[in-house]
């Protein structure tokens, strides 16, 4: 075979391969970003919807006294530019008590955009707006902090919590109260390591305390503050293993808090500025 023929074959193979590669996309790539709807059309659709449909389906389309939640409707979920919901709007559903609405094709598209955009916003958690959570009683929160909550047994408003209300937004502050980041799953090094410590006591009475590196049914490993590493096999005869979590009280309180306790305590912590 001549070299020119070989070259033509190679070029053909490369071009064919390129066509295959560029002509196919993975399912993930084909999905693309979520669709964006014209905000002006969405706003027009909202006004049309509220005026014509809101008395049954609610002003947000999430259901009313007579009509179902349209954001969960299969007809709406499958709709594209009003092609599915259009006939329903124009003809109505007399058997279900829904009258017909003789609106224009553009109004149908606008209503469809309003409904589709509402569904997108409900799915996209990044769009959720956290409302004001400081609804509790600061005085009741202070009483709980120093009393039944036993917060003052570990914390001080003039020490580690001084200025905490200015340091964090209320929602972050409440999150740290309810979901301390210093939890640990056995077998995985904790993060941050300062929250968890483990003490291993041998049958001889000798003990070692440090940050757990690994702990399961068969082995326990730790690193002492000076960097010394120790690993021990676990048997029925020992060693004895004790795990210390300095924020365990936060985890224990999750089953004891009432809604009022949480809101009052948050309201009190916000005042510490």
Question: Are 210 and 220 contacting, i.e. CB atoms less than 8 angstroms apart?
Answer: no
pLDDT of residue 32: 57
Q: Cα(86)–Cα(131) distance, rounded to whole angstroms?
A: 35
Do 46 and 115 sit in the same domain of this protein? yes
Query: Does residue 254 share a domain with residue 241?
Result: no
Q: Domain containing 222 — which CATH number?
A: 2.30.30
First to last CA, the chain: 85
Map 5-55 to HEC letters: HHHHHHHHHHHHHHHHHHHCCCHHHHHCCCCCCCHHHHHHHHHHHHHHCHH
List Cβ<8 Å contacts ≥24 apart for 103-106: 103/48, 103/52
Is pLDDT at 142 greater than 80 in this prediction? yes
**Token pair recorded at residue 230:** 């120790």
* pLDDT of the residue at 124: 76
Q: pLDDT class for 95, splitting at 50, 70, 90?
A: confident
Number of domains forming the structure of the chain: 3
Predicted local distance difference test score (pLDDT) of residue 264: 95
Identify whether residues 169 and 216 lie together within a single domain. no
The answer to the question of residue 30 being in a domain is no
**pLDDT at site 268:** 96
Q: Quick check: is 51 in a domain?
A: yes
Domain contains 16: no
Summarize pLDDT for 96-123 with one digit per residue, the tens. Answer: 888 889 989 999 999 999 999 998 888 8
Within a domain: 185: no
Task: Tell whether 53 and 71 lie within a shared domain.
Answer: yes
> What is the spatial distance between Cα 16 and Cα 190, in angstroms, rounded to a whole number?
52
Q: Is residue 222 one of the residues assigned to a domain?
A: yes
Dist. CA 165–CA 266, nearest whole Å? 9
Mean pLDDT of 48-71: 87
Q: Are residues 103 and 215 in the same domain?
A: no
Residue 9 to residue 1: CA distance in whole angstroms? 11
175 & 204 share domain: no
Same domain, 174 and 266: yes
Confidence category of residue 236, pLDDT binned at 50, 70, 90? confident
Same domain membership, residue 199 and residue 103 = no
- CATH (domain of 66): 1.10.760.10
In a domain, 26, yes or no: no
Asked whether residue 22 is domain-assigned, the answer is: no
Res. 21: pLDDT tops 80: no
Q: Residues 152-207: pLDDT tens digits?
A: 998 999 999 999 999 999 988 998 888 776 444 444 444 444 568 899 999 999 99
**Residues 138, 267: contact at Cβ < 8 Å?**
yes
Higher pLDDT, 261 or 245: 261
Q: What is the pLDDT of residue 96?
A: 83
Q: Is 218's pLDDT higher than 60? A: yes
Domain co-membership, 159 together with 238: no
Let me know if 176 is exposed, middle or buried by CB neighbors in 10 A (0-12, 13-18, 19+). Answer: middle
The arithmetic mean of pLDDT across residues 84-88, rounded, is: 91
Structure confidence at residue 83 (pLDDT) = 92
Residue 33 is predicted with a pLDDT of 62
Pair (64, 104) in one structural domain: yes
Structural domain span for residue 199: 193-246
Tell me whether residue 23 is in a domain: no
169 and 154 assigned to the same domain: yes
Q: Do 197 and 172 fall into the same domain?
A: no
Q: Is the pLDDT of residue 25 over 70?
A: no
Please tell me the number of Cα atoms within 13 Å of 83 on its side-chain side: 4
């Amino acid at each position: 075979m001549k070299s020119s023929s070989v070259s033509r074959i190679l070029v053909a193979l490369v071009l064919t391969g390129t066509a295959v590669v560029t002509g196919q996309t993975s399912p993930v790539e084909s999905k693309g970003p979520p669709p964006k709807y014209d905000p002006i059309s969405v706003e027009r659709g909202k006004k049309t919807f509220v005026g014509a449909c809101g008395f049954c389906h609610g002003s947000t389309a999430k259901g009313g006294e007579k009509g179902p939640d349209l954001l969960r409707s299969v007809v709406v979920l499958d709709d594209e530019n009003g092609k599915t919901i259009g006939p329903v709007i124009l003809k109505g559903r007399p058997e279900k008590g829904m009258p017909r609405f003789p609106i224009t094709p553009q109004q149908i598209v606008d209503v469809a955009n309003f409904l589709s955009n509402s569904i997108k916003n409900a799915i996209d958690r990044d769009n959720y707006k956290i409302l004001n959570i400081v609804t509790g009683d600061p005085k009741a929160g202070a009483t709980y902090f120093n009393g039944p909550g036993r917060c003052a047994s570990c914390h001080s408003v003039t020490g580690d919590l001084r200025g905490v209300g200015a340091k964090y937004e209320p929602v972050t502050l409440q999150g740290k109260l309810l979901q301390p980041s210093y939890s640990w799953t056995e077998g995985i090094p904790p993060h941050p390591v300062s929250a968890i410590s483990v003490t291993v006591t041998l049958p001889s009475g000798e003990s070692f305390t440090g940050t757990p590196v690994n702990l399961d049914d068969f082995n326990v490993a730790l690193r002492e503050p000076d960097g010394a590493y120790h690993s021990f096999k676990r048997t029925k005869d020992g060693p004895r293993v004790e795990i210390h979590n300095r924020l365990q009280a936060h985890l224990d309180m999750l089953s004891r808090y009432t809604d009022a306790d949480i809101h009052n305590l948050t309201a009190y912590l916000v005042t510490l500025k």
